[in-house]
Amino acid sequence: MYIHRPRANEDLSAICSFPQTPEELFYMSPKSEFPLTPEQILGLLENRYDPTVIVEESSGQVVAYANFYEDMDQSLWLGNVIVSPSHRGMGAAQKLLQTMMDIAKEKYGMTCFYLSCHNTNSRGLVFYHKLGFEPFDVRITTLDDDRKMITIQMRMNLV
């Protein structure tokens, strides 16, 4: 069983261990450099809200992490989503998303919830689709090495 709580400084090393490859880190945070460090996480939080962790209740182990950010329209977006490799496929991601949706609705009064998912993140796209997120836009981003990345913008109504 999982519970949630605000992220604490002692959670940083656990969160840093979640991205196992540069690609996984890119999905979580495209501007971060592998391996993820506590300083990078803290730097990301300068313009983020409600950094939240999911904890395995029996062991106290931090198993997932996410936060919010706002876009230019003051819409609330889910960001920096990552789950511990040892808890993928075990309900931690679903608990994380449900927790973040509840916070968005109850604390911020949001009626729609948004996220971005890179086109190469098939596992993430399938997961979000199963939860009821629907694509509504596509953004093409030029990476530092001039490659193009397609980011699928998704949303879910919270009412």
Give pLDDT, residue 31.
87
> Which two structure tokens, joined as six digits, stand for 137?
């836009």
Give pLDDT, residue 51.
98
User: What domains lie within the chain, and their CATH numbers?
Assistant: 2-157 (3.40.630.30)
Give pLDDT, residue 134.
97
CA angle at 91 for the pair 54 and 97, rounded to the nearest 5°: 60
d(CA 17, CA 2): 19
Give pLDDT, residue 129.
97
Residue by residue, pLDDT tens for the chain (159 residues) are 999 999 999 999 999 999 999 999 999 998 899 999 999 999 999 999 999 999 999 999 999 999 999 877 778 999 999 999 999 999 999 999 999 999 999 999 999 999 999 999 999 999 999 999 999 999 998 888 888 999 999 999 998
Q: Minimal CA–CA distance to 65: which of 5, 125, 152?
A: 5
Q: Where are the alpha helices (DSSP H) in 45-151?
A: 92-106, 122-131
Give pLDDT, residue 147.
85
Give pLDDT, residue 143.
81
3-state secondary structure at position 97: helix
